[in-house]
Amino acid sequence: MENKFVGSIDQGTSSSRFLIFDHTGKVVTSHQIEYSNVYPQPGWVQNDPNEILSSVEDSVEQCVESFVKLGHSVSDIVAVGITNQRETTVAWDSETGECLTDAIIWNDTRTRDIVQRLTQKDADSEIPTICGLPLATYFSAVKMVWMLENVDAVKKANEKGTLRFGTVDSWIIYKLTGKHVSDVTNASRTMLMDLKTLQWSDKSCEFFGINKSCLAEIRSSSEVYGQIARGALKGVSIAGDLGDQQAATVGQLCFSPGEAKNTYGTGCFMLFNTGETPIFSKNGLLTTVAYQLGPNEKPTYALEGSIAVAGSAIQWLRDKVGLISNAPHVNTLAESVSDNGGVYFVTAFSGLFAPYWRDDARGVITGLTQYATGGHIARATLESVCYQTKDILDAMNADSGTELKKLRVDGGLTNSDLTMQIQADILGIEVIRPEMRETTAFGAAIAAGLAVGFWKDKSEIAGQSVTKLFISTISDEKRQQMVSGWKKAVEKSFGSV
C-alpha cells in the first residue's frame, strides 16, 4: 500500500475540496472550489444542493488531473473518504433523484418558532435524553419539519412516499453511488438517532413527524458504502464518512478518552473524547458520536461545544463592513494594538450556541470610546472566538470531572499565530497546532483507508504530526480580568430578538 493513495472529499460551508494523501499522511495534491450561500431573509442561510454537488465533482476532476500530471495513475487511488458540513439538510425525490428545495444550512435560524413549539410539546425534555442534543435551530430534524410545513414539493413527495431527507454526506453519496446511506456521526446530529442503539429512534421520528422511510441507512464511519458511478474516479469505493468535526477529531488522532481538539472554521467546534460510554452534559454541551471505525467496532462518544461564528466573523469584517481587504489583513490590523482597548465583540450573528443556547442573542460590540480603532475591533473579533472556546472548555471540565491540560487545534484561523497565542493566554493551557493542518480531510482519509486496508490499524497512523506549542504569557489575575469583561459583554447580547 506504500505506493497507493487515498482521496478525501471535504465539503464545507463555503467551499468543497478534494485532497489525495499518501501512506505517510502527506497531501500529494488538492483542489478547492469556493461558493457563496444565499441569505434571502434575516437568519436564513441556504444553497442549491446541485451547486454543492457540482463544487465537489469539479474539485475531484481538477485534483485528479493534477495527480495524473505528477506521474501517478488514477488506479493507485484505493478509496475515497467524505467529510461534510453537518446538520445542513437536503430533501430530494427518490423517483427523479432531484432535490426538491434549497438545502437549509446548519447555521440557519428560520426554525425558531418551530423550536419554541416543540419545546412546549416536549415538556419533560425526553428527546434530548435520546439523542444527546437540545431542541435548537441548529439540528437537522427541525429543518426537516420546516420543509414539510412550508415547501409544497416536499409535502407532495412525502405523500407519495418518494421523499428522501439527508445530511450533505448522504446527498453526495447518493448522487455519486446511488446509495442512500449516512454514518453514525452525521446521524447523531439530526435529533432522530438513538445514541445508544445507533439507529433511528421511533419515538424521536414520531415526535418530529418524520417517516423513517425518508431517512438514510445508518452505517459505521469506516466501511465500503458503494462505488463512484461516473467521472475520473469511476469504480473507486467511497469507504469513509464522518461529519467534519468528528473527522477532525480522527485526523488529530484523538483516539484516547480525555483528548480534545478544537476546529476553527466558519464556526468553531470542540470535541472531547469520552470513550465508549456517552456522557450527557449538565452544562450545555452536546453528546455526540465521535466515530465508529468499522461495522464491528464499538462507537466512541464525545462531548461537543459549538460556536456558530468564528471565521465567518472575519468574512463579515471584510465583505459587509469593509474594515479589512482580505482575511490575513485582520491579523495585521489586530497586531497594531497591544490589547483590545476595552472593546469586546460578541459575534452572536446566529444566536449563541454552547454552553448558552440563546437563539435570542445577537451580535454586540461593547466598550467603544474615542480611543478605539479598527485595530481594537479586529483584535476583539479574534478574541471573541477564544473567549467562547474558554466558555466551552470550562463546561467540558465540569462535565468530565477532569481538567484538560492541552488543546489540539486545527482549521483556517489556526494559521494566525496571534490568534493561537491569544487562545493560550485566555485558556491558560498549552495549545498544540499540528504541522499538517488538513486534519478534517485527513480524518475522512483515515476512515476510508482503514476500511480497505490502506492502513492496518490506528497504531500505524499515530505519531505523524510535528506540532507547534503556544503557552500562556499572562498572569491568572490578568486572565480573570479579561474573562470578566467578556462575561459582561455576553449578557448584553441576550434578548435582542
What pLDDT score was predicted for residue 296?
Answer: 94
Three-class DSSP category at 368: coil
Rounded to 5 degrees, what angle do the CA atoms 365, 368, 369 make?
A: 175
Give the percent of the chain with pLDDT over 90: 75
Better-scored residue on pLDDT, 186 or 467: 186
The predicted-structure confidence for 185-196, as pLDDT tens digits, reads as follows 999 999 999 999
- What is Dmax (Cα atoms) for the chain? 64
Rounded Cα–Cα distance for residues 71 and 3 (Å): 12
pLDDT band for 148, please (50, 70, 90 cuts). very high
Alpha carbon dihedral 47, 53, 58, 60, in 10-degree steps, equals: 130
The dihedrals phi and psi of 257, each to the nearest 5 degrees, come to -55, 140
Rounded Cα–Cα distance for residues 175 and 313 (Å): 33
Please answer whether residues 246 and 443 qualify as being in contact, where contact means their C-beta atoms are separated by less than 8 angstroms. yes
What is the average pLDDT score of the chain? Answer: 92
What is the separation of C-alpha 472 from the centre of its chain, rounded to a whole number of angstroms?
A: 27
First to last CA, the chain: 56
Poorest-pLDDT segment among 23-27, 426-430, 488-492 = 23-27
What pLDDT score was predicted for residue 496?
Answer: 66
**Mean pLDDT score, 412-432:** 93
Q: How many CA atoms lie within 13 A of 157 on its CB side?
A: 27
What pLDDT score was predicted for residue 460?
Answer: 83
What pLDDT score was predicted for residue 1?
Answer: 63
The predicted-structure confidence for 231-288, as pLDDT tens digits, reads as follows 999 999 999 999 999 999 999 888 988 888 998 988 888 999 989 989 888 888 899 9
Identify which of 166, 9, 190, 149 has the alpha carbon closest to the alpha carbon of residue 94: 166
CATH 3.40.640.10 fits 5-252, yes or no: no
The β-bridge relationship of strands 430-434 and 467-470 is antiparallel
Rounded Cα–Cα distance for residues 482 and 417 (Å): 20
The predicted-structure confidence for 95-146, as pLDDT tens digits, reads as follows 999 999 999 999 899 999 999 999 999 888 899 999 999 899 989 999 999 9
Can you tell me which residue has the cell 507547534? Answer: 468
Rounded Cα–Cα distance for residues 88 and 106 (Å): 4
What pLDDT score was predicted for residue 463?
Answer: 54
What pLDDT score was predicted for residue 464?
Answer: 54
Helix then strand then coil, % of the chain, to nearest 5? 35, 25, 40
Please answer whether residues 75 and 24 qualify as being in contact, where contact means their C-beta atoms are separated by less than 8 angstroms. no
pLDDT band for 466, please (50, 70, 90 cuts). low
Rounded Cα–Cα distance for residues 437 and 454 (Å): 21
Please answer whether residues 327 and 256 qualify as being in contact, where contact means their C-beta atoms are separated by less than 8 angstroms. no
The predicted-structure confidence for 359-407, as pLDDT tens digits, reads as follows 889 999 999 999 999 999 999 999 999 999 999 999 988 888 878 888 9
DSSP code of residue 340: -
Domain extent listing, the chain: 5-252
What pLDDT score was predicted for residue 147?
Answer: 98
Rounded Cα–Cα distance for residues 62 and 67 (Å): 9
Identify which of 254, 258, 291 has the alpha carbon closest to the alpha carbon of residue 274: 258
Residue type, 230: R
pLDDT band for 410, please (50, 70, 90 cuts). confident
Identify which of 222, 489, 217 has the alpha carbon closest to the alpha carbon of residue 362: 489
Q: Is the pLDDT of residue 484 over 60?
A: yes
